[in-house]
Amino acid sequence: MASEHPRANLPTLSLHVPEPKFRPGDAVDFAAVGIPPAGEARRPDTAAHPGDFTDLAYTLVRVLDDDGHAVGPWNPRLSPDMLRKMLRNMALLRAFDERMFRAQRQGKTSFYMKALGEEAVAVAATHALDPDDMCFPSYRQQGILITRGYPLVEMMNQIYSNRGDKLQGKQLPIMYSARDHGFFSISGNLTTQYPQAVGWAMASAAKGDTRIAATWCGEGSTAEGDFHSACTFAAVYRAPVILNIVNNQWAISSFSGFAGAESTTFAARAVGYGIAGLRVDGNDALAVYAATLWAAERARTNQGPTLIEHFTYRAEGHSTSDDPTQYRSAGEPNAWPLGDPVRRLKDHLIGLREWDEDRHAAQDKELADLVKAEQKEAEKNGILGHGLHQPLDTLFDGVFEEMPWHLKEQRAQMLAEETASGRPWDRK
């Protein structure tokens, strides 16, 4: 007679598979999302030890209340001129996104990604950084370039991969690179920019420089090994870097639970590494500005890195290749409890009597006209699909500082085959 298994009285093991609360067709109720009152979170001294304010990784730093008033210790008390500048850059980003989204739908480019609902994350943070600080973005931080005054035509040239594209058509649309504006090349490989940012920050400190680094990734990317390697180096060497996590609730088509959101906050990852952690209302431009300024001061005074989770919502699809109606409720964007970042900053300025609806409408029209004019200028250099815009022999340029012999041979073979085919690449 076979002996009974020693654990026969225990239930079998099972796995937990995260499941979003709302699927297509479901009614949306975000009542379970904990939103603490604005102004409630304390603001520690920038020299405080990370272990003294771990609670800030689990709450939400907020400045703008439901009536549009700036309250609490994190209020950066910005001038009306600075507030209007931030609002303008956020509105310009939105106008640029809308125009380029339509250009993709018209077949002028292959791909685009909008930052709708997340404008404060990039724009407000950039205003809080120094112009020569180095930014290592993910692919939804085009607001950094817009805030730093990078020409819209140059951004469009890159999107169209046309004759004016400084990257010679070698990058996927929207993966910009602008060293002269402190904007590191965007990579389609998720979170490679995290260890790059930490390494750059360590080099800045080793050279005795005063510039710091800032980097961004989505919440899903925190599951990548590069994220954790970067956090280890940043913690051990107290690198002068700001590590931003944009928690917009959704990766390409999977919700944040697959990256660990059901267990704890993303800011809590900082606690395990012994670095400063903040969880911020990402739709509150003043909170994003204040948190970034605080983290920048810590970095510049050798207090080490800060990890900031920006709690926000991706109002559009992941990209023009994505259809969010296939995996989430259509009611989610309008039901998101933290509202729209542009509207919230606009309402704050109106409450200060430094802005009004008519001026806002006029600005929206002005920016839409500006983007349209810049688009016409960029399209003089061509659009995607209208032939090869870059000389074919530049295909191998930029891989190495000095081209090795084997690439020279491959380039010569390619050009010889092109000539022999009698069908040269269309370069019009």
Torsion angle of the four alpha carbons 358, 359, 365, 368, in this order, in degrees rounded to the nearest 10: -140
Residue 140 identity (one-letter amino acid): R
Measured over the CA atoms of residue 26, residue 27, residue 30 and residue 31, the dihedral's sign is negative
Q: Which of 181, 269, 318, 348 is catalytic?
A: 318
**What are 41's two structure tokens?**
């979170």
Give the count of beta carbons closer than 10 Å to the beta carbon of residue 359.
14
Please indicate whether residue 314 is annotated as part of the active site. Answer: yes
Cβ-based neighbours of 43, under 8 Å, separated by 6 or more: 72, 73, 74, 290, 294
* Strands (E) located in 117-240: 134-136, 213-218
Please indicate whether residue 353 is annotated as part of the active site. Answer: no
**What are 365's two structure tokens?**
């029209």
Sort 120 into a burial class: Cβ within 10 Å, 0-12 / 13-18 / 19+. Answer: buried
How many angstroms separate the Cα of 116 from the Cα of each of 179, 284, 292?
A: 25, 14, 21
Please indicate whether residue 228 is annotated as part of the active site. Answer: no
Residue 115: strand, helix, or coil:
coil
* Residue with token string 């948190």: 291
Q: Which of 314, 328, 360, 389 is catalytic?
A: 314
Sort 122 into a burial class: Cβ within 10 Å, 0-12 / 13-18 / 19+. Answer: buried
Gap between the Cα atoms of 286 and 127, Å rounded: 11
Gap between the Cα atoms of 43 and 294, Å rounded: 9
**Mutual orientation of helices 341-351 and 119-128 as an angle, nearest 10°?**
60
How many angstroms separate the Cα of 410 from the Cα of each of 407, 413, 419?
A: 5, 5, 14
Q: Which of 150, 327, 359, 411 is catalytic?
A: 327
Instruction: Give catalytic residue positions.
Output: 314, 318, 327
